[in-house]
Structure 1
Amino acid sequence: MGGNSRRHYDVAIVGAGIVGLAHAVAASRRGLSVVVLDRAAGILGASIRNFGHLCLTGQDGLAREYGEESRELWLALAAEAGFWLRETGTVVVAQAEDETSVLEEFRDLRGPDDIVLLDAGQVRERVPVAADRIHSGAWLPRDLQVDPREAAGAIARRLRAGGVDFHFTTTVLGVERGRVHTARGPFIADTVIVAVNHDVDQLFPVIAETHGIQRCGLDMLLVDAELDGPLSSPLFTGWSLVRYAGFTRTASAAALRARLLAEHPDLAALDLNQMYTQRPDGGLIIGDTHYRGDGIEPFQGEPAFDALLALARDLFGVSDLRVRERWQGVYASAPQDFLVASPLPDVRVVSVTTGIGMTTGLGLAERVVDELYSSTSAQRLSEPTTSLSAR
Structure 2
Amino acid sequence: MLSSPTLLPSAADVVVVGAGIVGLAHAFEAHRQGRSVVVLDRDARPAGASIRNFGHACVTAQPESLRDLARSSREGWLTMSRRTGIPVDEAGAVVLAGDRADLDVLEAFAAARPGDATLLDRSDLDDELAGLAGEQLRGGLRLRHDLRVDPRTTAPRLAGWLEAAGVPICWRHNVIGVQADSIGTRVDTNRGTIRAEQVVLCSGHDLDHLFPAVADEHRVERCSLQMTRLAAPGPQVRPALLTATSVLRYGAFGEVADLAPLRRHLESTAPGLLAAQANLMLTQLPDGTLLVGDSHDYAATPEPFLSAAVEHQLHTALARLLKTAALPVLERWQGVYASSPATDVLDVEPWPGLRVITVTSGVGMTLSFGLARRTFPRP
Q: TM-score of the superposition, structure 1-length normalised?
A: 0.91
Q: Which residue, 224, 229, 234 being the options, matches 1:222?
A: 229
Deviation at 1:251, TM superposition (A): 2.6
Q: Which residue, 269, 279, 284 being the options, matches 2:290?
A: 284
Q: Which residue, 138, 151, 156 being the options, matches 1:153?
A: 156
Query: Is the Cα contact below 8 Å between 2:10 and 2:195 reproduced in 1?
Result: yes
Deviation at 1:83, TM superposition (A): 2.4
Residue in structure 2 matched with residue 191 of structure 1 by the alignment: 198
- Does 2:62 align with 1:55? no
Separation in structure 1 between the aligned mates of residue 373 and residue 175 of structure 2, nearest angstrom: 24
Query: Is the Cα contact below 8 Å between 1:13 and 1:195 reproduced in 2?
Result: yes
Query: Is the Cα contact below 8 Å between 2:23 and 2:202 reproduced in 1?
Result: yes
Q: Which residue, 6, 10, 13 being the options, matches 2:13?
A: 10
Question: Mean alpha-carbon deviation: is it higher for 207-216 or for 21-30?
Answer: 21-30
Q: Secondary structure at the match of 1:148?
A: coil
Q: Which residue, 73, 85, 89 being the options, matches 2:88?
A: 85
Residue in structure 2 matched with residue 384 of structure 1 by the alignment: none
Query: Is the Cα contact below 8 Å between 2:73 and 2:368 reproduced in 1?
Result: yes
CA separation of 1:89/1:80 partners in 2, compared to 1, >3 Å: closer, same or farther?
same
- Does 2:142 align with 1:134? no
Q: How does 1:226-241 map to 2 (within 5 A)?
A: 226=233, 229-241=235-247
Number of residue-to-residue matches in the alignment: 370
Deviation at 1:369, TM superposition (A): 2.5
Q: Which residue, 30, 35, 42 being the options, matches 2:33?
A: 30
Residue in structure 1 matched with residue 127 of structure 2 by the alignment: 125
Q: Secondary structure at the match of 1:70?
A: helix
CA separation of 1:58/1:198 partners in 2, compared to 1, >3 Å: closer, same or farther?
same
CA separation of 1:63/1:330 partners in 2, compared to 1, >3 Å: closer, same or farther?
same
Give per-residue Cα distances to partners, 1:195-232, cap 9 Å, x unaligned. Answer: 000111000001000101010000000001435x3223
Separation in structure 2 between the aligned mates of residue 314 and residue 252 of structure 1, nearest angstrom: 25
Q: Secondary structure at the match of 1:51?
A: coil
Residue in structure 2 matched with residue 176 of structure 1 by the alignment: 179
Query: Is the Cα contact below 8 Å between 2:230 and 2:291 reproduced in 1?
Result: yes
- Does 2:220 align with 1:213? yes
Deviation at 1:47, TM superposition (A): 0.1
Q: Secondary structure at the match of 1:292?
A: strand
Separation in structure 1 between the aligned mates of residue 319 and residue 349 of structure 2, nearest angstrom: 48
Residue in structure 2 matched with residue 244 of structure 1 by the alignment: 250
Q: How does 1:98-113 map to 2 (within 5 A)?
A: 98-111=101-114, 113=115
Q: Secondary structure at the match of 2:316?
A: helix
The percent of aligned pairs where both chains have the same amino acid is 41
Instruction: Name stretches of at least 5 consecutive residues in structure 1 with no aligned partner.
Output: 377-391
Deviation at 1:45, TM superposition (A): 0.2
Q: Secondary structure at the match of 1:174?
A: strand
Deviation at 1:265, TM superposition (A): 1.9
Deviation at 1:4, TM superposition (A): 4.1
Residue in structure 2 matched with residue 167 of structure 1 by the alignment: 170
Q: Which residue, 328, 337, 344 being the options, matches 2:334?
A: 328
Instruction: Name stretches of at least 5 consecutive residues in structure 2 with no aligned partner.
Output: none
Give me the CA root mean square deviation: 1.5
Residue in structure 2 matched with residue 360 of structure 1 by the alignment: 367
Separation in structure 2 between the aligned mates of residue 10 and residue 210 of structure 1, nearest angstrom: 29
Counterpart AA for 1:74: W
Q: Which residue, 246, 255, 259 being the options, matches 1:253?
A: 259
Give per-residue Cα distances to partners, 1:275-323, cap 9 Å, x unaligned. Answer: 1001100000101000000011211111111112222222223431111
Separation in structure 2 between the aligned mates of residue 5 and residue 241 of structure 1, nearest angstrom: 45
Separation in structure 2 between the aligned mates of residue 297 and residue 5 of structure 1, nearest angstrom: 35
CA separation of 1:318/1:283 partners in 2, compared to 1, >3 Å: closer, same or farther?
closer
Deviation at 1:238, TM superposition (A): 1.0
Query: Is the Cα contact below 8 Å between 2:8 and 2:194 reproduced in 1?
Result: no
Q: How does 1:365-380 map to 2 (within 5 A)?
A: 365-370=372-377
Query: Is the Cα contact below 8 Å between 1:8 and 1:187 reproduced in 2?
Result: yes
Residue in structure 2 matched with residue 293 of structure 1 by the alignment: 299
Counterpart AA for 2:364: G
